[in-house]
Amino acid sequence: MMSFIREEYASASDWLSALKKGEEWTLYLKKLQHAAPGDMSRLRSDAMRRIGKGKTFEYWDIFSHNVELTVEKVWRIAELTLPKLEIQTVGMLSIEWLDQHSSGNQVSNIREPSPDVVNQLKPIFYGSEEEAKAFLVSIQGMKPTQITDKVNQLVSEKKISDMSKHRDLWKVLHDCGIYERSESNWNMQVK
């Protein structure tokens, strides 16, 4: 069983290493590994609930879902008890695992883009419905940084309006649940 005494760990990295070998994470990892494909959405919601909407979530968002950097930062500010940090870290590790193991399923299960979303994107793509659809199909299953990389590519190819690449595009993608990170994170990534 893991100790909840901070001084027993040399660093955040040591604590995270112990957590990954600990009973709580290994049991939850088995639950993730044996879940049915239909349970993935519920497991993702459960993991997000564990992380919460506080400082840990904000750092996790700033660090582009990098668990190690987030734990290091939260460890240094030392405002959380180790049991609370453990709960949040299990949530972050769960999202990381789900992202790694569900992206292959999403890519092979490409669905037709929503006409409503395509219509919202058309002005951003200089009125081209075909370009808006192609963009939505191409980003299915992508991680947030991959989406912003794709946007940067399309801006450089002059397929996305330079005037609309920030708030307008972020809002459409965020409102329909494609890009769930903050607008400030989007603006840092989209050049």
Provide block-wise average pLDDT over 10 residues at a time, the chain (191 residues): 89 93 91 84 89 90 89 90 94 89 49 82 92 86 88 91 92 89 92 85
User: Which amino acid does the sequence have at 117?
Assistant: V
Residue 16 burial (CB count, 10 A): 21
The DSSP code for 184 is: H
Q: CA-CA distance, 160 to 177, in Å (whole number)?
A: 20
pTM given for the model: 0.55
How distant is the alpha carbon of residue 115 from its chain centre? 25
Q: CA-CA distance, 86 to 80, in Å (whole number)?
A: 10
Q: Specify whether the CB–CB gap between 102 and 40 falls below 8 A.
A: yes
pLDDT for residue 89: 95
Residue 73 burial (CB count, 10 A): 18
Q: Specify whether the CB–CB gap between 171 and 177 falls below 8 A.
A: no
- Domain borders along the chain are 6-108, 115-189
pLDDT for residue 106: 42
Residue ranges of E strands in the chain: none
